[in-house]
A and B are shown apart, each in its own frame.
Chain A
Amino acid sequence: MTSIALTLPDLRQPSNPALVLRYFRRNKVLGVGVVVVTLLVAFTLIGFLVVDPQNAYPLSAPTKKPPSLQHLFGTDFFGRDLLTAMVVGMWQTAIIGLLAGGLGTLIGVILGFISAYFGGWIDAVIKGACQILTPIPVLLIQVVVAGSLDKRDVTILTMAYIVVMLAWMGPTLVIRSQVLTMKERQFVSVAKLSGVGDLGIIFGEILPNLLPFIAAAFVGQVFAAVFASFYLAVLGLGPLREPLLGNIIWAAQSQGAFFNGWWWWPMEPAVAMILILASLALVNMGLDELANPRVRRTE
């Protein structure tokens, strides 16, 4: 017997960063979104090293100065240095987005799982509540909540909680429908037959397969939270002392910034907000492709 010598072809698995880069080239939408988000994060982090956060509050700089070498982004009517205000405002926007997005997704995942996995009347109640609450314009209920609070009590954290209060229905319905299909798959039946308990199936079998959906729901929630808190702040319901981007636009419009020629005051937070929302929307679209392999493009 002669043995056949098998020469293994030289299969080298590309390194991880290379794979990620290659995927970004294919999924350009995600790539561009991630790049812009990274730049914004870099702006905020480097900004904190350079500026003194205290300058983002009133009476810390000369008032109404257009952009100059001394104040790169200019200053506003209340004597805030707008470069500092942008750095702090973006940081606060990120906190609201991540906190409210994370909490909303967590609540959604838990309720979605309970609803789909146990079914019956629990499912009917959760699904019914989601369906009844969905047609109610969320922003308006948030206006009621924010309006009922004492303005001195409103902080960045309260903003996040207000936003999350009515933002869990979307992820709940998405996760519920995914668990419903996942539950019928064969690997779940096999696990059940081999005696794995409810919790084992949920955490060992279903949850890992849902991770892409959860990631996509999370980015969607962050986008929604940033958007909602921005609208509340533009209406004058934000923590008025903080340099939240929406607050700055609200303050600028209340003082008639364009009428008085202080164009940089409302424009800077507007451009910052456009960059934040657009990059999050791009990441969201790109992740959809990752989470939904049917539309995933091949090389």
Chain B
Amino acid sequence: MSIKLIVKRLAFLIMVVWAASTITFFIPRLSERNALRERFAELSRTGGFAPADLEKIIASYSAQFGLNKPLYQQYFDYMWGILHLDFGYSLGKYPLTVMQLIEQALPWTIVLLLVTTVFSFIIGNLMGAIAAWQRAPRWMRAVATPFVLLQGVPPVLMGVLLLFFVGFRLKMLPLGGAYSPGLIPNWSWSFALDLLAHQVLPATALILGSAGGWVLSMRGMGVTIQGEDYVNFAEHKGLGGVRIFRDYYLRNALLPQVTGFALALGTVVTSAIVVEGIFGLPGIGSLLSQAIRANDFPVIYGIVLLITIAVATLMVGLEFLYPLLDPRIREE
């Protein structure tokens, strides 16, 4: 990979982050809604201070959040903050900053995402490859082909189905939350098991819900690749079935799937967030739905920006992986 290409991709990454942060800066400011006013109007209704003081409080908070400066000044302050990953303070849980809240929630989401993405990618691609591989034993293809149907059931709906059948009807696994109510987090085996049991359903929902897409695209890829000359040649050389499948067929079919993976990253992350919300797991998803419910705008925008930056960075990063996977790119 040439230096020129690397610089080009990095410039692209900066453009994406700039576009995303500019959109999230201007959209809320275009709307009539005043987050501070709504927040404090709510507080004044529930008591705590006289409604007459409302304007004073809003004015002093506007000054503190820098909302009384001219727009271009606000824009530069905001961009400067993003460069430091500083998204300001939460309105709902005031002394805490947005970044502190995200740091508490992030480990849950990252573990869930890593595990489910790896599993769904492996299962989906393997099933798709087998479903298309005409030399595969009949029973194998009979097992693999129905996985195509998963395509129609996105992770959230898979989650509701699993909650009903496994959690509610069979009563095998808990119906949501991070751990059983009443337990106090501690370092014991029983607590770890309880924690794990609560993760099984959301993880399964994400794995099955996103595997369908991989099955479908891998099957399409496999159909073309197995007709290629090099696959026939490998067969005429007398290589074994497993060897042809792994080294000649799967390896070549996987390359476009990695590109597809980079493109699907945004969907993968958003699915995980929505599934977390449905299951009430303490991750970014629940933080987001709580922030939406409480009109905690800095938290909403902070989460959106952080995820956008992460997804765009990963996307560009994956491109640097291609030379490792494809020797043809390495030589150029």
Contacts and interface: CB of A to CB of B under 8 A. Distances in A.
Contacts of A143: 288, 292, 300, 304
A184 interface: no
A259 B175 contact: yes
A273 to B, nearest CB: 6
A139 B284 CA distance: 14
Nearest to B149: A278
Interface string A96-135: 0000000000000000000000000000000000011111
Contacts of B293: 236
B277 A147 contact: no
A136 B277 contact: no
Contacts of A136: 16, 19-20, 23, 266, 308, 311-312
Nearest to B293: A236
A227 B155 CA distance: 12
Contacts of A131: 12
B152 A274 contact: yes
B144 interface: no
A140 B307 contact: yes
A238 B15 CA distance: 31
Q: Is the interface of B mostly helix, strand, loop or mixed?
A: helix
Nearest to A252: B160
Contacts of B288: 143, 235
Given A141-B20, A235-B274, A277-B152, A258 B163 contact: yes
B27 interface: yes
A148 B27 contact: yes
B295 to A, nearest CB: 8
A137 B19 contact: no
A204 B152 CA distance: 38
Interface in B160-209: 160-161, 163-164, 167-168, 175-176
B151 interface: yes
Interface string A238-276: 000000000001000100101101010011001001100
B153 interface: yes
Contacts of B289: 235-236
Contact of A148 (B15, B31, B308): B31
B106 interface: no
Interface residues of B, number: 51
A282 B277 contact: no
Interface string A50-68: 0000000000000000000
Main secondary structure of the interface of A (DSSP, over half): helix
A141 B23 CA distance: 8
B210 to A, nearest CB: 13
A234 B303 CA distance: 17
Nearest to B301: A144
Given A147-B292, A258-B164, A140 B153 contact: no
B28 interface: yes
A45 interface: no
Given A148-B30, A148-B31, A141 B304 contact: yes
A141 B288 CA distance: 13
29 contacts: A131-B12, A132-B12, A132-B19, A135-B266, A135-B315, A136-B308, A136-B312, A137-B266, A137-B269, A137-B270, A141-B24, A144-B27, A144-B28, A144-B304, A147-B28, A147-B300, A230-B156, A231-B156, A235-B274, A235-B289, A235-B292, A249-B156, A253-B278, A253-B280, A256-B176, A258-B168, A270-B160, A273-B157, A274-B161
The 10 A-B residue pairs with the shortest CB-CB distance in the complex, in nearest-first order:
A278-B152, A137-B266, A270-B160, A148-B31, A139-B270, A140-B304, A148-B28, A135-B312, A258-B175, A136-B20
Interface of A: 131-141, 143-145, 147-150, 227, 230-231, 234-237, 249, 253, 256, 258-259, 261, 263, 266-267, 270, 273-274, 277-279, 281-282
Given A135-B312, A270-B161, 16 more contacts: A131-B12, A132-B15, A136-B266, A140-B304, A147-B300, A148-B27, A148-B30, A231-B156, A234-B278, A235-B292, A266-B164, A274-B153, A277-B152, A277-B157, A278-B151, A278-B153
